Amino acid sequence: MKRFLFGLLYPVIAYSQSSEVLSVRNFRVQHEHRLLQQYRDFLSIPNVAADMPNILRNAEWILSYMRSNGIRNTQLLRAAASDVPPAVYGEVIVPGATETIVLYAHYDGQPVDPTQWLEGLHPFRPQMANGSMVNGARIMDWPQDGTRVDPEWRIYGRGTSDDKAGVFSIITAYAALLSTGQQPKVNIKFFFEGEEEAGSPHLHEIFNQYRSLLKGDLWVICDGPVHQSGRRQIVFGVRGDTHLELTVFGPKRPLHSGHYGNWVLNPAMELSRLLSSMKDANGQVTVQGFYDDVVPLSASEKEALSKIPPVEEQLKKELGIRAVERPTPLNEALNLPSLNINGIQSAGVGKQSANVIPTKAIASLDLRLVIGNDWKRQQQKVIDHIRNQGFYVTEQEPTDAERSTHEKICMVKRSSGYNAQKTPLDDAFAQRVVQSVKKGTGEDPLLLPTLGGSLPLFVFEQELKARPITVPIANHDNNQHAENENIRLSNFWSGIEVFASIMLLQR
């Protein structure tokens, strides 16, 4: 079997799909209009973690959907503080089963700016389009009963792929098994988090409080995209994550650029110089010691990476770029720590542009971590670099005394963070999941040592002694964390089959 994507031809080892999973597909085909409407209702509930009233509406919706599909002992798992989004829990205990898998996804989403979305789209008014709108597709009427549903259509809205798709696919996979008279081979626990996009600051507390309830032999995480080639991938690790916000100060009031230009230091220029000092022309971070504590990849991990199909040239065409930051394959770059500028702000641009020297310039930095890095230590390396560039570093707005003493001032705000986590490729239980996915999908999945994105799986390992693996389902071009987020229906449907195959895990 061969598959085409981006004009790229690559071989896929094909097998016969199991009859059990084919029956799940038949269930989905028979009920897909109802499933789409239910998913639309779910997506219509705003899910930003800071919006507690709507977060609770999401949690209650999940509880109701679980209960209506035969999942038992459903409850909200809460931290001590009342303003913390709850986790949603449920379970299926199978008579005679001696093993338990815990299935995880998160129901919160990234903050939104509706003005950035394409005309006709709104983050919490889900719309169907007849393909990718980047490639000229158009919004269409929501499909009604009896009408054809094309797997190339896409749903647009916040959370469509990250990560309400995971929540809905996992629950619906069990519903499909139940409706087709099939019983899982293992006990199943369902755990849906409500503040992953906020950095999971209370996850350790929930794990500690409900430790006995959350015991399991393997955690399977649904988050992130399939490989850019379209191949299914199973990921054995994730990068850690932390952030810094830098503010460089200029004059106490904005100044006329004609009257004071060439004399007063411009904070936007000083911040730009500072940021450019952090990387060289080859994308190498120049912060002292940035890579020193990285644990090298094992021989088996290097072998797994060597089997990843190359997509770099096709991605350049898709993204409209020619240059890349590092002259290495994409997945090799994702196995290194990174320093990224998430955003820069100083005065106005476009119609808001004015002839001023601004009072301050702000940048948000995103630090991704790999095994060996510690998030606090990695933050400190960057802060030490800022000092080495001649800046006085403070954690608060500078006083007049500090302004009169120091030529260059940078205020640094540290976020919380978490470290990277990795499960060995030869983990026996994880390899059984690989075989189940292979049997269920009819294809050999790619095995990745580390996902480029971040999840708080370090907390799973630290608090529960768990060895999680990640099984993504979303299309790679889903715009997660950004405007015009979407899910391709083919990916959505196949996600249900994938998680049904995991629930049918064999010894």
Domain termination site, one of 418, 452, 486: 418
Which tokens go with 415? 């976020």
Confidence of residue 15 (pLDDT cuts 50, 70, 90): low
CATH number at residue 489: 3.40.630.10
Per the structure, the count of domains in the chain is: 2
pLDDT reported for residue 506: 78
Instruction: Assess whether 72 and 152 both reside in one domain.
Output: yes
Instruction: Assess whether 248 and 370 both reside in one domain.
Output: yes
Instruction: Assess whether 257 and 134 both reside in one domain.
Output: no
2-11, 119-128, 138-147, 195-204: the lowest-pLDDT one: 2-11
pLDDT (average), residues 214-241: 95
pLDDT tens readout for residues 118-134? 999 999 999 999 999 99
Q: Would residue 280 count as lying in a domain?
A: yes
Domain termination site, one of 418, 447, 478: 418
pLDDT reported for residue 426: 95
pLDDT tens readout for residues 308-353? 999 999 999 999 999 999 988 999 999 999 999 999 999 999 999 9
pLDDT reported for residue 18: 85
Q: Would residue 313 count as lying in a domain?
A: no
Instruction: Assess whether 387 and 443 both reside in one domain.
Output: no
pLDDT reported for residue 327: 86
In whole angstroms, give the CA distance from residue 284 to residue 280: 5
Instruction: Assess whether 485 and 361 both reside in one domain.
Output: no
How do strand 237-249 and strand 338-345 relate by DSSP bridges? unpaired
Instruction: Assess whether 187 and 81 both reside in one domain.
Output: yes
CA angle 75, 80, 84 (to 5 degrees): 75
In whole angstroms, give the CA distance from residue 103 to residue 469: 10
Instruction: Assess whether 250 and 380 both reside in one domain.
Output: yes
Based on the number of CB atoms within 10 Å of its own CB, is 429 exposed (0-12), middle (13-18) or buried (19 or more)? middle
Q: pTM of the entire structure?
A: 0.89
- What is the pLDDT of the chain when averaged over all its residues? 94
Within 10 Å of residue 313's Cβ, how many Cβ atoms?
Answer: 10
Q: Would residue 322 count as lying in a domain?
A: no
Confidence of residue 14 (pLDDT cuts 50, 70, 90): low
Range of the domain at 143: 2-110+117-236+423-503
Q: What percentage of the chain exceeds 90 in pLDDT?
A: 92
Instruction: Assess whether 230 and 90 both reside in one domain.
Output: yes
Q: Are 378 and 367 in contact (CB under 8 A)?
A: yes
Domain termination site, one of 385, 418, 451: 418
CATH number at residue 244: 3.30.70.360
pLDDT (average), residues 66-80: 97
